[in-house]
Amino acid sequence: MHRVLLSLVVLAAISCSASAPPETQELRRDKGPAPVAPIAPVAPIAPATPGPPHIVALGDSLTAGLGLPREEAYPAVLQRKLKDAGIAIEVVNAGVSGDTSADGLRRANWALEGDVRLLILALGANDGLRGLPPSQMKSNLQTIIHRARQRGVPVLLVGMEAPPNFGEQYAAAFRQVFQDLARENKVTFVPFLLDGVAGVPNLNQADGIHPTSTGAARIADLLWPAVKTMIQQ
């Protein structure tokens, strides 16, 4: 817990620094206030187009693997685990550096095209770094989950922690969003993407935010049991 808090303090310091290096600023690309997702029900989406079966990891720079070769990001590590397990399925890295939950929602229809067997939903880090309303994040993530279910795609929801600079009340409300989404939608849930990685120096790059290749492998280890179980089901 001490390591996690230490990492979140680093996140807060970086998020408030105007002189942060470009690779650090990537996680929280400044694009102004993110739009609020529509509350009205989303119109039904046509069935996905047939194609090779795949898993989609929809996320931000933590998923994209900022600062790492593409083959060392955690989606690529999951791909190798699937191959070693004899499971013929492709993992698509749909991580974009700087994306908030609103950005991910705008890409959701594209991400869900084809024969998607599983959606790994790992967004929220940039919402927290920018202090965006947790209610807005919940609406965005809920709409993504709804669209995935319209296509019959199971969702692995991956949570995130907010930095402490916005106060404990904000951090608690932010954390509660993921817990509520998991309960209300009855989806498989991993509470913290960086569990076992946050605050561990040798598992993070110099910016203190983005995992090293070893840290990315640790994330893949964290997600693997849920991914394997959901795919086999």
- Which residues are tagged catalytic? 61, 207, 210
Question: Side chain identity at 160, as an amino acid letter?
Answer: M
Instruction: State the DSSP code for 50.
Output: P
186 CB-near residues (< 8 Å, 6+ apart): none
DSSP labels, 99-112: --HHHHHHHHHHHT
**219 contacts 211 by C-beta, under 8 angstroms:** yes
Cα–Cα distance measured from residue 164 to residue 18, given in angstroms and rounded to the nearest whole number: 18
**How crowded is residue 220: how many other Cβ atoms within 10 Å of its Cβ?**
20
